[in-house]
Structure 1
């Protein structure tokens, strides 16, 4: 019978293994004795498979890692690597943080004003970190799957193709805190161009709804974030807001007014940036 054959083979293998083990132990003892006498016992070579296992393994290619989108990169979750900032949602491979915005290109006068604001806030016990780049958000930050990027940006491009260029201005300081209470921002709120910005939000929201993503706030406060700090320091920042506004209003020859030229919108998704020129 097949079962009997299998059992017999296993017994024979066990007997052979047992005999080999006895022989190996005998050889080991002999080598040890010879080694004690004259150190002439040859070193037993490692099996080939054992040598291969001890070698350093090569890292998996990125294309293979991308096949497992649910695996979390723990390094990207370390807030100490991001100035203490905490993510609003976990970073997962295959998920891309995405938002639409109007870029602001600061001039030298703006940078001088920002230094004065940071110094004035620091004197009141609020240590702010300036933004690395400046923009006006026209969407919330949403999670976009990698394979959605192309159709998502194509939809945005088609919807924004007939939107007109415009100009908007900002000048009033305002304090903002994210929904999680992990960061507080000092921003400069828009006071002209509000209607045009609302029109753009409606266009962007159409694409968001098409992909079942969260739309923008119902009553948005359009602003450019200037600086931030970790945690919910809304009360402390509001306490020195009047003094900071005075810095803006009395800057050099007169009140500073931030001007945004609505020439193009941009969409940042992961490490990619897409540009959508507005119609002249």
Structure 2
């Protein structure tokens, strides 16, 4: 019986040794490479260190975690040549007081805070947005009031144009977006928001440097700019959602 698994059965006046056949452990199966790669694209890659010097000194609002997708809902505005001309005039005036101001590469009116989604939430989140927004009709709003904003941590300042008409329609959009946020236990938008187009930004709290008489000068630049009443009318024809590197569009009715 030596060298093999044994079972001893004690019977009266006898000791019987049963020999069981030996079997080696089954080898571990190899996982195909195609299976290992199946879900690779579903998670964001690990982010490199937050090298703020490569982003104009900007820092993340929240730390990056693998699988977390920063998500934002907004109404886009495609700037035409006349709008770019006004932006340059405003920057020329504002840089007299804050030389470090930089123009933003694109423009929009925010309809949500930046929230964090896990990858498997994205599809149902987008579907819920689609269902909520499909009944909202198109509209026109106007953004022509110069205003200075800072983020919650006072690490960045934005020069923007606040909406002066169309507030109720934007509030309707936010109401629908907020319902989706609540479905996923995410932060809703600010109460009594100041809807606006951000135009330029700078590091730190620059609200005092751009306030008072300086703000009045900037407003006079807008009021006196040729045809500004025309190109500062913003068509509300679609809502967009950006989640990580993915973009989704929701045309309004």
Counterpart of 2:237 in structure 1 is 263
Q: 2:183 matched to 1:210?
A: yes
Is the 2:82–2:231 contact (alpha carbons within 8 Å) kept by the matching residues of 1? no
Counterpart of 1:198 in structure 2 is 171
Q: State the number of aligned residues.
A: 217
C-alpha deviations, 1:4-26, integer Å up to 9, x for none? xxxxxxxxxxxxxxxxxxxxxxx
C-alpha deviations, 1:120-140, integer Å up to 9, x for none? 111223421111110000001
What is the Cα-based RMSD across aligned positions, in Å? 2.2
Which sections of structure 1, spanning at least 5 residues, go unmatched? 1-59
C-alpha deviations, 1:175-202, integer Å up to 9, x for none? 0000011110001000111001111101
Larger fraction in strand: 2
> Structure 2 matches for 1:86-97, cutoff 5 A?
86-97=59-70
Counterpart of 2:206 in structure 1 is 233
Distance 1:181 1:254, change over 3 A: closer
Which sections of structure 2, spanning at least 5 residues, go unmatched? 1-35
Q: 2:146 matched to 1:173?
A: yes
State the structure with more CA Rg: 1
Counterpart of 1:129 in structure 2 is 102
CA distance in 1 between partners of 2:40 and 2:61 (Å): 27
Q: 2:189 matched to 1:251?
A: no
Q: Secondary structure at 2:185's aligned position in 1?
A: coil
Q: 2:106 matched to 1:100?
A: no
Counterpart of 1:37 in structure 2 is none
Q: 2:193 matched to 1:220?
A: yes
CA distance in 2 between partners of 1:65 and 1:96 (Å): 13
CA distance in 1 between partners of 2:46 and 2:203 (Å): 24
Larger fraction in helix: 1
Q: Secondary structure at 2:209's aligned position in 1?
A: helix
Distance 1:241 1:62, change over 3 A: farther
Is the 2:98–2:210 contact (alpha carbons within 8 Å) kept by the matching residues of 1? no
